[in-house]
Structure 1
Amino acid sequence: MTAATLPASGGLKAQLAGLALPLGVLVIIAMMVMPLPVVLLDLFFVANILLSLVILMVALYSYRPLDFSSFPSLLLIATIFRLALNVASTRVVLTEGHTGHDAAGKVIKAFGEFVIAGNIVVGILVFSILVIINIVVITKGASRVSEVSARFTLDAMPGKQMAIDADLNAGLLTPDTARARRAEVAAEADFYGSMDGAGKFVKGDAMAGILILAINIIGGILIGTLQHGLTMADASHTYVLLSIGDGLVAQIPALLLSIATAIIVTRVSSSHDMGSLIAKQIHLRAAWMPVAAVLGIIGLVPGMPSGVFLFAAAAAAAIAWFGRTDLNNTDDSAAPGTDTVEPADAKPSEGITPDDVADHAPVSLQIGYGLIPLAGEGGGALVTRITAIRREVSKAMGFVVPGVRIRDDLTLPPNQYRIRVGQVIRGEDVVYPDRKLAIPGAGSARKLKGIEVKDPSFGLDAVWILPHQLAEAEADDHVVVEPESVIATHLSQLLYKHAADLIGPDDVQVLLDTLARVSPTLVNAVVPKLVPLHTVTGVLRTLLSERIPIGDLRRIVEGLAELSGRNLSAPDMAEALRPMLVPLLLQQMTPINTPMPLVTLDPELEQLLLRARRQGDEGLTIDTGLAQTLVKSLSDALEEATGQGKQAVLIVASQLRRSLAAFLRPHLPDAIVLGINELPETRRVEVIASIGGQSQLPSR
């Protein structure tokens, strides 16, 4: 019974929560036409102030404008609520004001007496100043910022959508992530469009406050003198006090909402709330030291209030003493395995430590100073893309790819970057942060103006174009890629190619510990009793060197247990395990229901290579002419398949597979060589090319 009633209870709670807002709006409308008791009026005035303060605090603690996307609607409701209170309080002031200062409630009386302080002129002037501040300064500025933000956001929306599509096509985003990004871009445009109109609510509310004050004063004096027989002095004092109190009770929450509006529209997206962000950025020693000096000098000038100025100088000096020396220096520390951005070292030469000369980062990206804006504060778009790349490669290869350390290197040219795996430089190129890389498609017929280069990831012809050429490039079937995406894609290719260098005994032990949670008996029986940890590491490295995923670790450990009694080396064990692991690679290359494109060798050529293998043991001993012909023919066949959108593999005899793969690796590092025994029986295949023949064999 209890379990059956829980959903109904939860549904009822949700229904009540959904009815709260419509009922609240109906109550606000009723306040405009129905008289309210003074007690309720006081309660609603306090609730109005409370609501305004809550909105202001939420605006201050939001990390980015979209975190408070309901602000425009909430602003409209708060404005209507305040205007309804003005109507209700005006009715009370004009009908009951002749009875005294308590006629409209204690809240209005307290605000009026506090501001007027016995002087009606002072009260009117203070109210006028508050209204001027609200309308002329805050509301006008916020409206202008909202208008400009909405315009630029809407103009940038097509470019952001195309950038998301480019990242999706490049494999940097999953379809779910791309949909979320598109929804966020649309929400951002809707938000700034709504804020542009919401600013008009605030301005209209301030103008209504002035008119309501004038109506209350003029109407109150006329009613007091003509209907209730009050003298002009008594009527003026009573109704002006009530009118100003009523105006202030409404104007102060309006001012708070205007400030909240200005904060929201001027907010820059960050990983900190506004208070923390401002404190972090202004806590700079170089800024506070001259401030302390200037205040100290002013305090020593004769005739100045030296005590106040010297106290302020001492406070500024204390802030400077504890301040940071570098604007870009932060105290945030990155968690292990995350992608981090680090500045170039600037330590004096006499303070050199071993950490300065030994970089133990498994993967590092060094960038010239011209590329630093791509990283930005906290990493920016470059770190976001690199994190997505690491996640993708980790899922594909079956182990967690270590974090990438990003460092600026002043020895590099401004626009150059360099990718290192361990201490070895694996790739480098030049990107232009103020341009975009356009790669021609099959239907491209126009040559774009720009800096002609080769795409660092795939070696395709490309050109760096200026932003205003974007529409021209896309109209001519060019794929346009952002600079940070160029770097991230290049990094992705190198991570796949050198995955074997990224895994060590410690990483393998972590994988085994994870497997032990679900298969403890298997792991304890095999490692290290039957197969040592270093042998397991060698096997996994050999598999990764040929792009074989190691995600199915349970089957690998089971296979190692069966092979443990044969006295095989790690490469031999890896070769024996390949047939049951190759399907994991093939399903990443070609959908399961699509025929697998194959490239084969001519039988005569295959026999020749087998004889060459026997002569050279595990290597291939073939003459230069045959080697060049083989590499050129296979390269052309694979490129033709790639141009058709297919990723082909080379199928050879099982005895030849390892030797031929080792021979081709320096020339065609991306070529996948499989033995005939490694093809799954359930996969359909399609032979798209055959390499060899009499015309291609050198004369003997």
Structure 2
Amino acid sequence: LVTTMLRLSLNVASTRLILSEGHTGLNAAGDVIQGFSNFIVAGNFVIGIVIFAILVVINFIVITKGSTRIAEVAARFSLDAMPGKQMAIDADMGAGLIDENEARRRRKELEDESAFFGAMDGASKFVRGDAVAGLIITLINVIGGILIGVVQRGMGVGDAANVFTSLTIGDGLVSQIPALVVSLAAGLIVTKGGTRGAANEAVLDQLSNFPKALYMAAALLFGVGLLPGFPFAVFTFLAAAMVGLGYMIQQSAARAAVEKEKADAEAAKAEATPEADANPLRLDELRLVLGEGLVGLANRPDAVLPSKIKSLRKHFSEEYGFLMPSVRIKDDANLPINCYAFQLHGVETARGDIRADRMMVINPEGAPLKLAGEKAKEPTFGLDALWVDRRTADDAESQGFTVVDPESVITTHLTEVVKDNMAELMTYASAKELIDGLDRSYQKLVSDLPVTSPAIMVQHVLQELLLERVSIRNLPLIVEAMAEAMRNTSKPTLILENVRRRLSSQICQGLSDGQGFVPVITLSPEWEIEFTEAVKIVGEDRNFVMSPKRVQEFVLQARQQIQRFASNDEWPALMVSPEARTFVRSMLERVSPMTPVISNAEIHRKVSLRTVGTIGG
């Protein structure tokens, strides 16, 4: 508005000079207007009129009309979207995702955005009015000047038209150029839209994202320069400038990508590299401790152990939906030189002994190995193995033996350690991270669970599922099942059973064999009756009453059936009634933790069962 008023005030002042002093000559309105008049008009005021008309068309029809329309649409869309954005802010605050201060800040940003688009709508009207006013003032100057020159000053019609038209065109050009600049600036600001940052930054950012566009523009300019009659040198210079700018932008983007990749690699290596404790009191969730002879597996320039561990984390995320914590690798002079150990929350869980410069050979059929090498036990499963040199390893592999490098021995062991302790590693922080990764609607559903600490309840359910190696990838369905169950009960056991029922398709798919059947071990009718009588249901409480002798007999019979398949690495599920499932699982947890225990209610309707054994039958 201020810019428009200043320009119009100058326009009014120059109009007064032209009309009052124009009869004295072309220098009546000042040297600036005279200079523009002589340069553009060049002795022929028709040329000046044409040039002035072109500038008016560019300013009024092209720039001003377009920016006005954009400002109108942006203002309308901004106002229409304001209630929805306001409700989203209130919903986030109600769900506990943001605090009151953050909500207040977002509301202020929303108000500023709405005020900006409204102001730009009004400003575009000022700019458009400025262009119209300049055109009207020019017409007044021409007509009024000719009348004043002929009627009052006694000039001839031709002389008056030449003088006053030349001065008016010069004045119009002087005023239209800043008006054109103001319109262009307003158009740039309006068309920038919601892009963050200043307008010049937005333009440069868009150009830097598409350097190929500059190359295409350079090719087009060079092609135009080859056309007959066009200045080849000028267009070649412009094309070269475009190529140079595109190359600089492309190189800058390539350097940024390399630096980012290097930073990511350094972060990943730092995540799994032996290091001294900056804080000796720090308790890592998961730690790999290496003896002095194994440190090179992690800190050599070509070390593959960190990348293998990173791949393992991705595997757990995809298969179980479980965020495996970062593995901090440390060296420990107190460990035997070729020994490694895993620690969970500072407590050693497992250890093994390997040879960093050799390969492990295992016979998958379990027969003795007749090769030259150092006898050993495979740390994870306790199989007989040999440590051999690289050449012998190649021979062993050609004979059908399994050959494993030392890094794979460690990661295989780590895999089983994590699987056995997923429930313990599902800390409150891990559960909260999973919840925060949900869509907002499901985050709201979690916060609406009728318990004092919904996140802790979700953590408990996830721990129970992971304890039985049930994937938690479908966290939204788990949350829905929890909310559904908690409308009727607050018992964690009943909530868990409802979650498992909702996950029946996933559970059965994980237990099915290669032929699409789920192999199960069932209970004999006698055991079914005894378990039904042993489970005492009082309201929502369930108690299990069975003599220790009968419990021991059941465990022995179950172990006999399970061992028939365990020797072939087969683990059929034990199917029991829903009421007894939890108690049967607790009985078998110590003697056969790998055996899945499912209830009849967890069998999906489209799944076919295959009974492979019966306990007590």
Q: Under a length normalisation based on structure 2, what TM-score does the superposition of the two structures give? A: 0.52
Per the alignment, residue 364 of structure 1 pairs with 287
Pairwise CA distance, 1:487: 0.9
Q: Secondary structure at the match of 2:287?
A: strand
Per the alignment, residue 420 of structure 1 pairs with 343
Per the alignment, residue 402 of structure 1 pairs with 325
C-alpha contact 1:437 1:465 (8 A) present in aligned 2: yes
Pairwise CA distance, 1:412: 0.7
Q: Does 1:541 align with 2:463?
A: yes
Q: Deviations over 1:538-572 (max 9, x none)?
A: 12211211112122111122122222233423333
Pairwise CA distance, 1:618: 4.0
Pairwise CA distance, 1:421: 1.7
**Structure 1 residues 691 and 552: alpha-carbon distance in aligned structure 2, compared to 1, 3 A threshold:** same
Residue among 498, 508, 530 paired with 2:421: 498
- The letter for the 2-side match of 1:341 is T
**Structure 1 residues 517 and 621: alpha-carbon distance in aligned structure 2, compared to 1, 3 A threshold:** same
Per the alignment, residue 274 of structure 2 pairs with 342
**Structure 1 residues 463 and 660: alpha-carbon distance in aligned structure 2, compared to 1, 3 A threshold:** farther
- Give distance in 1, aligned partners of 2:502 and 2:490: 18
Q: Secondary structure at the match of 1:365?
A: strand
Residue among 467, 472, 476 paired with 1:550: 472
Q: Deviations over 1:668-698 (max 9, x none)?
A: 22221111221112122222233334xxxxx
- Give distance in 1, aligned partners of 2:266 and 2:364: 43
Q: Does 1:532 align with 2:487?
A: no
Per the alignment, residue 671 of structure 1 pairs with 595
Residue among 476, 484, 503 paired with 1:581: 503
- Give distance in 1, aligned partners of 2:527 and 2:454: 40
Pairwise CA distance, 1:654: 2.0
Q: Deviations over 1:379-422 (max 9, x none)?
A: 82111111111111122221321111111111110111111121
Q: Does 1:380 align with 2:309?
A: no
- The letter for the 2-side match of 1:681 is R
- Give distance in 1, aligned partners of 2:276 and 2:563: 44
- The letter for the 2-side match of 1:550 is I
Q: Does 1:482 align with 2:405?
A: yes
- Give distance in 1, aligned partners of 2:325 and 2:429: 12
C-alpha contact 2:286 2:343 (8 A) present in aligned 1: yes
Q: Deviations over 1:324-380 (max 9, x none)?
A: xxxxxxxx9747x984212345xxxxxxx9x21x23211111111111121123682
- The letter for the 1-side match of 2:436 is D
Q: Deviations over 1:235-276 (max 9, x none)?
A: xxxxxxxxxxxxxxxxxxxxxxxxxxxxxxxxxxxx979xxx
- Give distance in 1, aligned partners of 2:514 and 2:373: 41
Pairwise CA distance, 1:637: 2.7
**Structure 1 residues 474 and 620: alpha-carbon distance in aligned structure 2, compared to 1, 3 A threshold:** farther
Q: Secondary structure at the match of 1:410?
A: coil
Q: Deviations over 1:463-495 (max 9, x none)?
A: 333323223422443211111111101111121
Q: Secondary structure at the match of 1:380?
A: coil
- The letter for the 2-side match of 1:366 is V
Larger Rg: 2
Per the alignment, residue 510 of structure 1 pairs with 433
Q: Secondary structure at the match of 1:418?
A: strand
**Structure 1 residues 483 and 520: alpha-carbon distance in aligned structure 2, compared to 1, 3 A threshold:** closer
C-alpha contact 1:364 1:406 (8 A) present in aligned 2: yes
- The letter for the 2-side match of 1:405 is R
Q: Does 1:522 align with 2:522?
A: no
**Structure 1 residues 333 and 677: alpha-carbon distance in aligned structure 2, compared to 1, 3 A threshold:** same
- Give distance in 1, aligned partners of 2:601 and 2:380: 32
Residue among 557, 571, 577 paired with 1:630: 557
Structure 1 unaligned residues grouped into runs of 5+: 1-9, 18-57, 68-270, 274-331, 346-352, 694-700
Residue among 465, 481, 485 paired with 2:388: 465
Per the alignment, residue 373 of structure 2 pairs with 450
- The letter for the 2-side match of 1:566 is N
- Give distance in 2, aligned partners of 1:431 and 1:531: 45
- Give distance in 2, aligned partners of 1:417 and 1:384: 18
Structure 2 unaligned residues grouped into runs of 5+: 1-211, 220-250
C-alpha contact 2:423 2:466 (8 A) present in aligned 1: yes
The 5-angstrom pairing of residues 106-255 of structure 1 reads: none
Per the alignment, residue 191 of structure 2 pairs with none
Q: Deviations over 1:115-173 (max 9, x none)?
A: xxxxxxxxxxxxxxxxxxxxxxxxxxxxxxxxxxxxxxxxxxxxxxxxxxxxxxxxxxx
- The letter for the 2-side match of 1:638 is F
Residue among 617, 633, 643 paired with 2:543: 617
- Give distance in 1, aligned partners of 2:444 and 2:468: 30
Per the alignment, residue 229 of structure 1 pairs with none
- Give distance in 1, aligned partners of 2:489 and 2:353: 49
Q: Does 1:572 align with 2:494?
A: yes
- Give distance in 1, aligned partners of 2:584 and 2:566: 19
Q: Does 1:680 align with 2:604?
A: yes
C-alpha contact 1:442 1:477 (8 A) present in aligned 2: no
Per the alignment, residue 482 of structure 2 pairs with 560
- Give distance in 1, aligned partners of 2:564 and 2:366: 21
C-alpha contact 1:344 1:409 (8 A) present in aligned 2: no
Pairwise CA distance, 1:456: 2.8
C-alpha contact 2:283 2:345 (8 A) present in aligned 1: yes
Q: Under a length normalisation based on structure 1, what TM-score does the superposition of the two structures give? A: 0.46
Per the alignment, residue 70 of structure 1 pairs with none
- Give distance in 2, aligned partners of 1:601 and 1:477: 41
**Structure 1 residues 379 and 670: alpha-carbon distance in aligned structure 2, compared to 1, 3 A threshold:** farther
- Give distance in 2, aligned partners of 1:589 and 1:338: 38
Per the alignment, residue 659 of structure 1 pairs with 583
- The letter for the 2-side match of 1:539 is V
Residue among 381, 385, 391 paired with 2:314: 391
- The letter for the 1-side match of 2:431 is V
- The letter for the 1-side match of 2:543 is D
- The letter for the 1-side match of 2:596 is I
- The letter for the 1-side match of 2:273 is V
- Give distance in 1, aligned partners of 2:351 and 2:366: 30
- Give distance in 2, aligned partners of 1:340 and 1:366: 11
Per the alignment, residue 524 of structure 2 pairs with 602
- Give distance in 1, aligned partners of 2:422 and 2:596: 15
- Give distance in 2, aligned partners of 1:448 and 1:691: 43
**Structure 1 residues 380 and 537: alpha-carbon distance in aligned structure 2, compared to 1, 3 A threshold:** same
Q: Secondary structure at the match of 1:566?
A: coil
- Give distance in 2, aligned partners of 1:678 and 1:391: 28
- Give distance in 2, aligned partners of 1:639 and 1:374: 34
- Give distance in 2, aligned partners of 1:582 and 1:339: 37
**Structure 1 residues 518 and 564: alpha-carbon distance in aligned structure 2, compared to 1, 3 A threshold:** closer
How many aligned positions are there?
A: 362
Q: Secondary structure at the match of 2:548?
A: coil
The 5-angstrom pairing of residues 1-16 of structure 1 reads: none
**Structure 1 residues 610 and 429: alpha-carbon distance in aligned structure 2, compared to 1, 3 A threshold:** farther
Pairwise CA distance, 1:639: 1.2
Q: Does 1:430 align with 2:353?
A: yes
How many percent identity over aligned positions?
A: 28
- The letter for the 2-side match of 1:689 is G
Per the alignment, residue 265 of structure 1 pairs with none
When the two chains are superposed, the root-mean-square deviation of aligned CA atoms in Å is: 3.8
